[in-house]
Structure formats: structure tokens, C-alpha cells
Chain A
Amino acid sequence: MLIMGVFTLYFLTPIWWLLTTSTKTGGEITSTAPLWFTGNSAGTFFANLGRLFSYGDGLFGRWLLNSALYAGVGALIGTIIAAMCGYALAKYEFRGREAIFNIVLSGVLVPATALALPLFLIFSRVDLTNTMWAVFLPSLVSPFGVYLARIYAAASVPNELLEAARLDGSGEIRTFFTVSTRLMAPALVTIFLFQFVAIWNNFFLPLIMLRDQVLFPVTLGLYAWNSQISQIPELRSLVIVGALVSILPLIIAFLALQRFWSSGLGAGGVK
């Protein structure tokens, strides 16, 4: 119990510091008690928020939108694609199945960051660097998602059900979208969350692909501001408020979907 208490402090203090500090003006950050609020916290917090979203023609709002697009839409499409492939690998016998699965497995061991430079070289070949596609398209591929989908499909979709659907004259594809995806739902949420986090956190790919600030995801944007603090000190409090705002969506997503991932997360490790 004592151990857990001490480590709770370790895990939550930085986030608490971020919360209290985002309610301070630039000067107050160094002059007031660091882990507590000031007399005028709420007012300063909203003033900071206002400055955050208005700085540089609302650049920060644009970054949040970009991240939502890259991670939200990317993970949604990526999950469907991975689910279809994993499902086919688990539920059908066909030639080349083992080979495909082994290729997917080796894909799991090749990390996304190792691909950033090769992708950059390819995209510059077709003049697509510094576009949203350059970050969006590569993010759709998730070999780990296929691997998880295959395990989940094997575990949660009974063959008898598929046979029954076939006897009823339901097409394979219709069966997948109406019956199988429902059975795999908790697993699909887990795959979605994993991929969402992976895309949201991906740093190297946007760093190497994008030059135009308007296309940045929020992590790269805050990184860019942070590295300008020594020239533009007023950015410091914006970076702190921005950091707080940028982690809220993920925390909310995790809380809202907790029921799903806490049951689905284990399956990948147990198997």
C-alpha cells in the first residue's frame, strides 16, 4: 500500500504540475508556489487558453484538428483494414496463409520509426512530402493490429456460426460486417485505441515529412514552439497550457472506452 501510494505521487505529480502551472502567467510560474494555484487561477487559465488558441492565427486549433484527423480517421480506417485481414487469416484456409501471416509478424518487429526515412525518400520521389497524405497514408498500416485481430477473431468468432450463416445464404462479406465484427467489437476498440495512440504519438514521420506549420499534428507543433522559447519567451506558458490541452483527448478517450480495452488488452499477451 505504501509502495503504491509513493508511486501514485510519482505518476501524477508531473500532470498535477502541468495543471497548476497552466493557471499562471509567465511571471507567476517562477514566483509562486509551484504545485498550487494562485488567487486568480481560473481567470488566468482562461486568459491563457484564449492566447493559446489565438496565437499565430489560431495555429493551435488547426494542429488539434490535424491530430484528430491523422489519429482519429487514420486509426478508424486502419482498424477496419486490419480487422478484415486478421479475420481472413484466422477463419479461412487458403494457400499462402502462413506466408502472409509470417510477413505480418516480421512487420510487427520493424518499428514505424525505422520506416520514416525510407517513406520520406519514396514520398519525395512522387512530390508528396509536406502534404497531409505523407503522414496520413503510412499511418493506416498496422501489422500489430492484424496480429491482434487474428487472435481475437480466432477466439471470439465460432466456426459453427459462420457455417450457419452460410447455410442461411449470407455472403461472406455480409457475414463479416454484420455478425463477426459485432463479436469482435471489444477487440476492435482495443486495436483502434492502440493505433490511435501510435499515430497521435508518432513524431519522426511528421518531423521528417512536414515543413508547413499548418499541417503539423499537435505534438510536432508544441515541439516547434518549445524549441523557440529561448527567442520568444512568451511561448513558454503557451507550451504548458497547450501540453495540458493536448493530453486531454487521449485521457478522455481512455476513460470513456476503459470497459473495452481493459478486457481486450490482455488477449495479445496471454495467447
Chain B
Amino acid sequence: MSVLSTPAEAPKAAPVSRRTRSSGAQRRAVALFIAPFAILFLAFYAIPIVYAVVQSLLTVEREGTFGRPRQVFGGFVQYEQVFQNTAFWESVGRVLLFGVVQVPIMLGLALLFALLLDSPLLKGKKFFRLAFFAPYAVPGVIAAIMWGFLYSPSLSPFGAVTSNVDLLGGNLVLWAIANIVTWVYVGYNMLIIYSSLLAIPTEIYEAARLDGASNIQIAWRIKIPLVIPAIILTAVFSIIGTLQLLAEPQTLRSFSSAINSTFTPNLAVYTTASVPNYNLAAAFSVVLALATFILSFVFLKSTQRKVTQ
């Protein structure tokens, strides 16, 4: 069982029946079906990526101090700057640390809630499902504004805590953001895992129960192994999301002075682009996109092998 199913294991496509209709008509239909997406994908995915790579290979040169700026091919000049830019790598380290801590906690909670929702002992499932999922309807910016008020000492309903512990200070602000992200996404991940739990045929549980398995044993030995593909899917999306953190820290900057302009990689991209230094910002973007792609791809491949073994 794989998460992102590869074409090879896809169900067979409708056989082309020559007797009923010429395959030319079908080919035209396929072209019509695919063309709109293909054109938009090219224009707003592929070409921008290529263009960013090109931009990242250019550098601005001036003739004299006040001369007109001119873009010339600079080879890997921008990338040298990327690799020497400690602020950027600190931000990468920060989101990696964030991901190593926050993603397992969030997915662990999501799995726990999904199992509880699936357990026959729990009452009021519908209510819990909605209550836990509700924060997903809150956009990152709004969630950050809300929690920003809740964290700040003067406004918070939890003044006893927030006036003694500086949640928005340099030591804790990263985890204050982690809490916001967890709050928003636990319910969403819970639902994905829960719906794959629902897909398990109940006969399996009955058989296990006849063999004397307890609820906890069933959860641990049957349910969790069977929902691993769903967990992998949520993990990949969480990894991607973590590396791209922007809205929450950027919004919290008006509550906390501990978040600087290069707190996360995407903030560094934004800051560099506002300078404006588009060539360097493009190089940052390319490195970040590549890193995200490789990390999620490697994660997918390595977990897929383990699952099939």
C-alpha cells in the first residue's frame, strides 16, 4: 500500500474500443480535458520555477558607484551568498528544530484522537469531531492574531500565566508558534487518520476480539499498522508546511520583538525581496523549494520501503 499511488498500480483505464468509436475522438477529448490544467500549470508553476532559477544565476552590476544597474550572468555568485548567509541557515535550523518537535506531537495527538473517535466507548463523536476540526477553518493569520492576544500579558484571559512567563520572548516564541500550528492542524490530521480507520472492515476486530484481544491491543496491533499510509500522508504535508512557515511568525511580529526579519526561511525570502534584491531572493527560493522537495520525497520513499517490507 502506498500513499501517493504510482501509475503502475492504478486501475486499468477504459479500453479503447475501436468498433464503437474512432480513437481519434477520444484523443481529442483527452487533449481538451488536459489542456486547461496543462496551460495553467505551465504558466504558474513550471515557467516561474525556471524563471526563478534564471534570475538566481544573474547578478546586478553597476558602472561606477552611481552608474545604471545592469543584470549580468553571475554563475553561482548568488548561491555562494546563500551558503555564506548565516541568518538564512539559522532560520533553516530553526524550522527543522520546530518540525522535529512539533510534527510528532501534532500527529501523535491526531492519531490518539482518531483512535478515541473510533473506539466504541466514546459518546458524542459527532460533537468532538466538529469541535476538534473547527480550528482548521481559522486561517493562519487570524489564528496568530487570536493567540497573539491570548499570549500577551495585558489582554490574556490567562493573565496569571502570561504575566509570569514571557511566551512571546526569545526563548519561547518558537514554541508559541508551534502551539498555534498544532491548534489549527490537529483536527484536520485527525480527520484524515479517522477516515482511514473507518475504511477498515469491522470483521477484523471481531476476529481479534474472539481471540481475546483487548481494545488497546486492537488499537496497537491492528488499527495503527493499517493507518500508517494515512499517517505518512499527513507527515509529508506537515513537513512541507513547516519548512514554509510564514503567516504565523510574520503576524506575531506585531506582538513580539523576538521574531526578527529572517526568523523562518520564507521570511528571509520576503525580507530579501523587499530590499529589493530579487536575484538573491530567487536563489533563496530555489534552495528552499529544492530542500522541501528532496526532504518530502526522501521521507516518502524511505517510509514506503518500510511499509512494503
Contact = CB atoms under 8 A, between A and B. Distances in A.
Interface in B28-47: 28-30, 32-34, 36-38, 40-41, 43-45, 47
Interface string B107-140: 0010011001000011100001111111111111
Contact of B141 (A101, A113, A203): A203
A230 interface: yes
Nearest to B179: A10
Contacts of B284: 117
Contact of A4 (B12, B29, B116, B288): B116
Given A3-B112, A91-B13, A108-B4, A226 B254 contact: yes
Contacts of B251: 223, 226
Contacts of B254: 226-227, 229-230
Contact of B131 (A8, A30, A81): A8
B230 A143 contact: no
B186 to A, nearest CB: 8
A55 to B, nearest CB: 16
Given A14-B183, A219-B141, A247-B137, A114 B288 contact: yes
Contact of B138 (A7, A102, A247): A247
B221 to A, nearest CB: 20
A132 interface: no
B246 A113 contact: yes
A200 B195 CA distance: 24
Nearest to B44: A138
Given A122-B47, A204-B247, A140 B40 contact: yes
Contacts of B34: 84-85, 88-89, 100
A27 interface: no
B302 to A, nearest CB: 15
Interface stretch (B17-25, B62-70, B77-85, B170-178): B17-25
Nearest to B2: A271
B52 A117 contact: yes
B198 A17 contact: no
Contact of B27 (A85, A94, A101, A176): A94
Interface residues of B, number: 111
A97 interface: yes
A15 B297 contact: no
Contacts of B132: 7-8, 11
Contacts of B43: 137
B292 A243 contact: no
A107 B45 contact: yes
Interface string B272-299: 0100001001101100110011001100
A91 B11 CA distance: 9
Interface string A247-271: 1001100110010001101111111
Given A8-B128, A29-B155, A15 B138 contact: yes
Nearest to A95: B27
Interface in A166-221: 166-167, 171-173, 176, 197, 200-201, 203-204, 207-208, 219-220
Contacts of A239: 145
Interface stretch (B93-101, B212-220, B233-241): B233-241
Contact of B51 (A34, A122, A137, A147): A122
A246 interface: yes
Given A85-B37, A173-B29, A147 B4 contact: yes
Contacts of B130: 255, 258
B210 interface: no
A234 interface: no
B5 A271 contact: yes
Contacts of B266: 113, 204
Given A166-B20, A223-B251, A269-B196, A114 B285 contact: yes
7 contacts: A30-B154, A90-B11, A97-B7, A122-B47, A122-B48, A159-B14, A246-B142
